[in-house]
Amino acid sequence: MEIILDEGAGFCFGVERAMRMTAETTTVSRDRVVTIGPLIHNPQVIEELKKEGVEVVKEDADVHNAVAILRTHGVSPDVEQRLRQESSQVLDATCPYVKKSHQYADLLRREDYHILIIGDQNHPEIKGLIGYAGKRVTVINLPEEAENLPHFPKLGVIIQTTYPIEKAQKILAKLVGRITELRVFNTICDYTSDRQIAAAHIAGKVQLMYVVGGRNSANTSKLAEICRQKGTPTRLIEVPDEIDERDLENVERVGITAGASTPEVRIAGVIERLEQIATARALVR
């Protein structure tokens, strides 16, 4: 059985930065260490951080006498302000791409644009971004939703960092010609775009695709969606034990990619498990 791996898969630089900041903090801090919401969207990593003494708390939690670490997805400015007033220290682990989105939202608000956010309104990244956008903001997630938007004299667009670029292009195409003044900031993360392109390429070459990462991760779920759109059977798994050998019957080429919050050790574990299955089958033959 041939295994084709996206060599760029695994932690993005924003996640690596957040993990490094958290590890360094737990080493030196005498105060309790908390993250405002899960630091990243990978359940196994969050459990490992808990064993190191890192608590996950809600945005409105009591953070007195605690070091508060802002999650990679960011928080609203109101939440950050309260944390800075109440906690012993705030460490900002927000992804730099998300921080750039915050800056663009603040700029558009000050320049009197109605702000359109393309993304999942229930995702923590978007919830935090709305806080920077102010009251004149609309969130849509599907191209067909763009058709129902009213006319705006000035519309500024910001895109969720993990949003599929092809879907974003479809939405933008519906806006061009309808809006008098349209200003678009492409805030899609380069790493995310590269992984989506690579996943589609690999999915087109294999009989079965594994996407490794947290089921609560937006970028991981979108990778699986892209692979399925290629017509390739796709399994989203968090750990190697979830591999079902029955899926591999008569499969000669398997593809692997992973979300931005998936550690390399987890990807290596999936490869090792697939190699074990392939070796056992070769012995039987």
73 and 110 fall within a common domain:
no
CA angle 23, 72, 239 (to 5 degrees): 75
The single-letter code of the amino acid at 193 is S
81: CATH: 3.40.50.11270
Q: Are residues 86 and 153 in the same domain?
A: no
Of 154, 169, 188, the position where a domain reaches its end is: 188
63 and 138 part of one domain: no
Give the integer Cα–Cα distance in Å for 44 and 51. Answer: 11
Q: Are residues 156 and 213 in the same domain?
A: no
- Based on the fold, state whether residues 280 and 198 are members of the same structural domain: yes
Count of the separate structural domains present in the chain: 3
Q: Are residues 122 and 204 in the same domain?
A: no
By annotation, the residues acting in catalysis are: 125
Q: Select from 171, 188, 205 the last residue of a domain.
A: 188
Residue listed under structure tokens 């594994």: 210
CB 6 within 8 A of CB 257: yes
Asked whether residue 22 falls in the same domain as residue 81, the answer is yes
204 and 151 together in one domain: no
- Please give the pLDDT value at position 282: 74
Averages of pLDDT over each 10 residues, the chain, 285 residues: 95 96 94 97 96 96 96 97 96 97 98 97 96 96 92 95 92 90 95 95 98 95 96 97 94 96 96 93 71
Same domain, 181 and 210: no
Measured between alpha carbons, how far is 13 from 128 in angstroms, rounded to an integer? 20
**Residue 118: CATH number of its domain:** 3.40.1010.20
Q: What is the pLDDT of residue 178?
A: 83
Task: Give the pLDDT confidence score for residue 221 in this predicted structure.
Answer: 94
Residues 200, 268 within the same domain: yes
**Domain end position, chosen among 188, 223, 255:** 188
Rounded CA-CA distance 89/29 in Å is 10
Give yes or no: residues 123 and 153 share one domain. Answer: yes
Residue 135 lies in domain: 97-188
Residues 138 and 183 in one domain: yes
